[in-house]
Structure 1
């Protein structure tokens, strides 16, 4: 009998230590990953800012859930209860912002994009009757609900506690579908307009699909768990269903494990982690991907014949057509320091990088106009396909290089 009790104690101790490890170390590792993304956040890929925020919120939510359900401390329960609910409504928008800015190359959000933050704001306002209570009162209420009654009923303004718990999972699931849909539609539109996709497209597709798949698993599991939390039962509900989805350990294992795995998977995509979306043919060797971030040492770069060959090969994929193409990106892809590459343009080419990029974009636009694309697409579509951020900038650059506006150039082609 004593051995049985010791065995039960051992299992209890082991299970709780595993949960403590997952609840503290795993999200801390994820938060560290978020700061890695911010550390490598540069002009190479500013979309990583949204990805870092996405990772930070995900792992912070795991810490909150651990503090709420496993510390058994009224102080931490009071801190973690309700106050952070709006965060759950930011996970989906951050994922969508990351996908949108990455695939479109435009890192600035439109005014309409800020509407995605509206649910989080409404939930924050809705919870004000509770959040404005004295802390001691909040701690007592939290402890009572979590450890005694398990009835998630509170006086909110216009949305019930149960509705928030369920809708936040559906909210995340919606944004997973929206993100994948945007990726597919924008990729098809780009292919139709330009005729090609960047060589990093397959890698991006795998990463985004993997990220969304993890969120679908987490949100689906969370949805079923929250139904049991708010007391919704099904007539066909089996005993095994009830045992699985009423278990906090099961929910925490799926959610915490899923968020932890996405932190690990990020390191399998080093070009995402380091902010480099290369335009060179994708390498299948993971070690080569890590090596690609190390610049080569160059001596007398203005007399280096290899750099001309490398740039000629590099330009075959038309990297300058991407709106966010920069000196930093080109230096990263060619494994040359920005200083050396800038020196190359200034000394050997007798121009600046900006002027060089503009020249190639206009030459590309001229080729497209000569092929008659103006009969199928608008001038704005042509300017966008050439990498220009706006129609006006395209017109100014075109007139500066060619001597006439694009419209006059098109008319001259029609008169031939």
Structure 2
């Protein structure tokens, strides 16, 4: 197998692991993780099609060919919106204006329609011709995406990356921003820019030297360099787990909890983590006095947006000060609210489920599980004992 392919296969595998981790962690920022997942899917799909096309294996998967162009155009906008939401909490939730960034995908969808309207047999014929003559993949055939896309896709990505770097530069001026996070975004954006520019150069070279397409794609040093850049990019998702998954680096080491005990094992005193008490008071007052916990589906990103606090700052506060994850803390407040309502006798006018919905629980099962976890009894049993006391 060609060394290029080993590199690409490795990158695809790592990106798949990243997608799995995004599905498992970081549920408190659903919108941002959706954007990041979409971008990673686009990158992985591009790498997969490159692998299949240049190895000739695409002939066995004609239904995969000519599908990914809309995803490619969405990669850079998704990354830009993701980093904007991560650096600026007011943009961490979906807004209708965000859809304008995806208008660029429409021409790509139009371009792939002719091929995808073909029968499977006709698609197989097109793919067979691509395998037999790679120049056909860059032709003006109605069933191949127009060559100008190979210019506009990387160019648009470069423009978005420029604004991404500019956004990071502006955010770096704020004292609240972590220098490590800013440097990570700078480096990540730089690798992306190198890949986009390299793709642009390769596509221009191919369109000007169609007779040497096979050599450019299989033996060209620039292609090998970009493959390694893709591998580096995939590894970067494990360098800053706090930003990506909402995990501290210590918690991200594959379930290895030994780190927190090492100072004790070495005879050293564990250093207490500093907590911003002013920020803790601000968050506590806002959540309790404004009863933000009663908002159904409240997540960390939404709370960060309401309080105008960065996601990672809020995440650190819950881990270090409250020493609870976000959902547990909010559910505890909801149970406390429900207990107060029940003790006031509100159960006479409302059902348990109605009170739970007012408290912010989105489902009966979630309420029952949270109540039992906090009170060590079921809501119905607690209510029965409460009735007995009030009637005694």
Shorter-chain TM-score category?
0.5 to 0.7
The one of 232, 239, 255 equivalent to 1:268 is 239
Which residue of structure 2 aligns with residue 87 of structure 1? 71
Give the superposition deviation at 1:160: 6.5
Which residue of structure 2 aligns with residue 312 of structure 1? 277
> Separation in 2 of the partners of 1:335 and 1:296?
17
Q: How many residues are aligned here?
A: 301
> Separation in 2 of the partners of 1:150 and 1:243?
7
Give the superposition deviation at 1:131: 2.0
Give the superposition deviation at 1:186: 5.0
Give the superposition deviation at 1:272: 2.2
Give the superposition deviation at 1:340: 8.0
Moved more, 313-322 or 31-40: 313-322
Moved more, 222-231 or 323-332: 323-332
Q: Which aligned pairs between 1:210-359 and structure 2 lie closer than 5 A?
A: 210-231=187-208, 246-250=216-220, 252-276=223-247, 310=275, 312=277, 315=280, 321-322=308-309, 330-334=317-321, 336-338=323-325
TM-score normalised by L of structure 1: 0.60
> Separation in 1 of the partners of 2:334 and 2:57?
65
Give the superposition deviation at 1:247: 3.4
Give the superposition deviation at 1:114: 0.8
Q: Report if the CA contact (8 A) 1:129-1:155 is conserved.
A: no
Q: Cα gap change, 1:129/1:317 in structure 2, threshold over 3 Å: closer, same or farther?
A: same
Q: Cα gap change, 1:186/1:232 in structure 2, threshold over 3 Å: closer, same or farther?
A: farther
> Separation in 1 of the partners of 2:331 and 2:107?
52
Give the superposition deviation at 1:98: 0.7
- Secondary structure of the 1:127 match is helix
Which residue of structure 2 aligns with residue 384 of structure 1? none
Note the residue ranges of structure 2 that are not aligned, 5 or more in a row: 262-271, 284-303, 339-392
Which residue of structure 2 aligns with residue 7 of structure 1? none
> Separation in 2 of the partners of 1:231 and 1:313?
62
Q: Which aligned pairs between 1:2-401 and structure 2 lie closer than 5 A?
A: 16-43=1-28, 47-76=32-61, 78-105=62-89, 106-148=91-133, 150-151=135-136, 152-156=138-142, 161-185=146-170, 188=173, 191=174, 197-200=175-178, 202-231=179-208, 246-250=216-220, 252-276=223-247, 310=275, 312=277, 315=280, 321-322=308-309, 330-334=317-321, 336-338=323-325
Q: Report if the CA contact (8 A) 1:296-1:336 is conserved.
A: no
Q: Report if the CA contact (8 A) 1:180-1:212 is conserved.
A: yes
Give the superposition deviation at 1:185: 3.5
Give the superposition deviation at 1:153: 2.0
Which residue of structure 2 aligns with residue 8 of structure 1? none
Which residue of structure 2 aligns with residue 392 of structure 1? none
Note the residue ranges of structure 1 that are not aligned, 5 or more in a row: 1-15, 192-196, 234-241, 279-285, 298-306, 353-416
Give the superposition deviation at 1:27: 0.2
> Separation in 2 of the partners of 1:330 and 1:45?
20
